[in-house]
């Protein structure tokens, strides 16, 4: 199985976009997304210095635009992607690129949202001096206890041996004076404490905009940063992207879901390297491909062909199915078992895993055509559970 991932803020480096813009087709598409965002992203990706592209309101649109255009270079005919990509995921702002690749929102909607996300988060970061520090190594429980002791938030849990603490600069200074045993601290070059309560003002702004955004259910599995669940309702995908601004990124749980899915290959969109590096440590035996420059495109396509398989969501209209968000045992609800037609939002059952129990709802409702699993069956993330026919003449 192939999973395509998009990196988050901090992956950008000065001049990383230069070789890509030498391709007229890439340059033209990139210019269009820059126009939508109202920013000279070509300048920022080729000529601007590290301090400039570190700014939240610049870095975020730059990363999303790059990922969106690069994926079209890998899959010149977008429909081809859905025959190969088993799942998508994005780290932090990379979730916007991932959701767009899954056809939840359009590229134009993505650029407006990421522009406003960057501006709102930069404004929120200016209220109180805050920052983020990566904690490398150490005992996980001890690291988490130390973060909590100093009033910090574990804003990114990126997998074995890498947790990012975030909070005020005073809290981070105290943390640095009393670090966890056998852990190395590395202050990050970011403008604020992202994915913490300090970003809550930005959530409200983006939530207001998101109410006007039309969405579609994803055409492939979308793995959510919040908890590693596979989300199949387009409205929920967007709501989670908005809420994630002030909530921790659980990339460790995303990696667990990839493992549950049986991933064999992970392709990272440019500027690549960060997420494939994490995957190499966390998912032993899984092949990775960090797409950094356009001269790698042929090799990237070969990598996709080697690992690709359809998620199964492309051949059936996704609003007719309800899928499992996680690996576990499916238990049907008494309500769903007794009905022939489910109202929108009805609970069809739950998936029980070693970690938790997740209720499954039929977001759109409809007449039950067939159950695709039985009570007590083991299910995998994104596996169809029930097929529905919509009511009301659709």
Distance CA 333, CA 325 (A): 16
Burial profile 245-279: b = 16 or more Cβ within 10 angstroms, e = fewer:
bbbbbbbbbbbbbbebbebbbbbbbbbbbbbbebb
Instruction: Evaluate the omega torsion of the peptide bond into residue 271 and state whether it is cis, within 30 degrees of 0.
Output: yes
Q: Which residue matches tokens 């301090």? A: 51
pTM attached to this predicted model:
0.93
Give the three-class secondary structure for 167. strand
| Catalytic (active site) residue 92 | yes
pLDDT for 314 equals 57
Tell me, yes or no, if 331 is annotated catalytic: no
| Rounded alpha-carbon distances, angstroms, from residue 112 to 58, 61, 206, 207, 251 | 13, 9, 10, 13, 25
Q: Annotated catalytic residue: which of 91, 195, 232, 364?
A: 195
Going by C-alpha positions, the residue among 109, 131, 108 that lies closest to residue 54 is: 131
Surface-to-core class of residue 338, CB atoms within 10 Å of its CB (0-12 exposed, 13-18 middle, 19+ buried) = exposed
pLDDT at 394: 43
pLDDT digit of tens for each residue in the chain (394 aa)? 999 999 999 899 999 999 999 999 999 999 999 999 999 999 999 999 999 999 999 999 999 999 999 999 999 887 788 899 999 999 999 999 999 999 999 999 999 999 999 999 999 999 999 999 999 999 999 999 999 999 999 999 998 899 999 999 999 999 999 999 999 999 987 889 999 999 999 999 999 999 999 999 999 999 999 999 999 999 999 999 999 999 999 999 999 999 999 999 999 999 999 999 999 999 999 999 999 999 999 999 999 999 998 766 655 555 678 999 999 999 999 999 999 999 999 999 999 998 899 999 998 889 999 999 999 999 999 999 999 988 764 4
Domains in the chain, please, with CATH?
2-124+197-307 (3.40.366.10), 127-187 (3.30.70.250), 320-389 (2.40.50.100)
d(CA 57, CA 53): 9
pLDDT of residue 318: 58
Distance separating alpha carbons of residues 299 and 311, to the nearest angstrom = 22
Residue 199 structure tokens: 């970003």
SS3 322: strand
The DSSP result for 15-79, as a single string, is TTTTTGGGSHHHHHHHHHHHHHHTS-HHHHHHT--HHHHHSHHHHHHHHHHHHHHHHHHH-SSHH
Given the residues 34, 91, 92, 198, the one annotated as active site: 92
């Amino acid at each position: 199985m192939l999973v395509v991932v998009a990196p988050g803020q901090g992956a950008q480096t000065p001049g990383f976009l230069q070789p890509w813009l030498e391709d007229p087709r890439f340059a033209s598409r990139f210019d269009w997304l820059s126009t939508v965002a109202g920013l000279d992203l070509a300048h920022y990706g080729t000529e601007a210095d590290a301090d400039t592209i570190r700014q939240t309101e610049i870095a975020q649109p730059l990363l999303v635009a790059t990922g969106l255009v690069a994926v079209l270079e890998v899959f010149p005919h977008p429909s081809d992607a859905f025959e190969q990509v088993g799942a998508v995921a994005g780290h932090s702002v990379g979730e916007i690129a991932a959701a767009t690749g899954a056809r939840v929102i359009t590229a134009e909607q993505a650029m407006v949202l990421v522009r406003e996300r960057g501006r709102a988060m930069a404004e929120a970061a200016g209220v109180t001096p805050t920052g983020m520090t990566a904690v490398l190594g150490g005992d996980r429980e001890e690291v988490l206890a130390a973060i909590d002791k100093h009033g910090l938030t574990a804003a990114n849990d990126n997998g074995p041996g890498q947790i990012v603490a975030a909070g005020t600069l005073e809290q981070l200074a105290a943390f640095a004076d009393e670090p966890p045993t056998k852990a190395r601290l590395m202050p990050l070059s970011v403008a604020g404490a992202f994915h913490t309560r300090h970003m809550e003002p930005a959530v409200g702004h983006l939530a207001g905009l998101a109410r006007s955004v039309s969405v579609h259910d994803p055409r492939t599995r979308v793995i959510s940063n919040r908890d590693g669940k596979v989300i199949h309702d387009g409205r929920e995908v967007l709501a989670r992207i908005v809420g994630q601004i002030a909530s921790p990124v659980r990339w460790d749980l995303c990696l667990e879901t990839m493992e549950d899915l049986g991933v064999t290959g992970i392709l990272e969109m440019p500027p690549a390297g960060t997420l494939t590096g994490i995957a190499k440590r966390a998912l032993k035996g899984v092949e990775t491909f960090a797409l950094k420059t356009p001269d790698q495109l042929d090799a990237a396509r070969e990598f996709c062909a080697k690992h690709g398989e359809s998620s199964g969501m492309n051949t059936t209209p996704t609003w007719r199915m309800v899928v499992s968000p996680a690996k576990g045992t499916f238990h049907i609800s008494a309500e769903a078992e007794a009905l022939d037609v489910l109202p929108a939002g009805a609970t069809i059952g739950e998936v029980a895993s070693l970690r938790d129990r997740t209720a499954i709802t039929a977001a759109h409702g409809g007449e039950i055509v067939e159950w695709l699993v039985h009570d007590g069956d083991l299910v995998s993330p994104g596996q169809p559970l029930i097929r529905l026919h919509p009511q009301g003449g659709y």
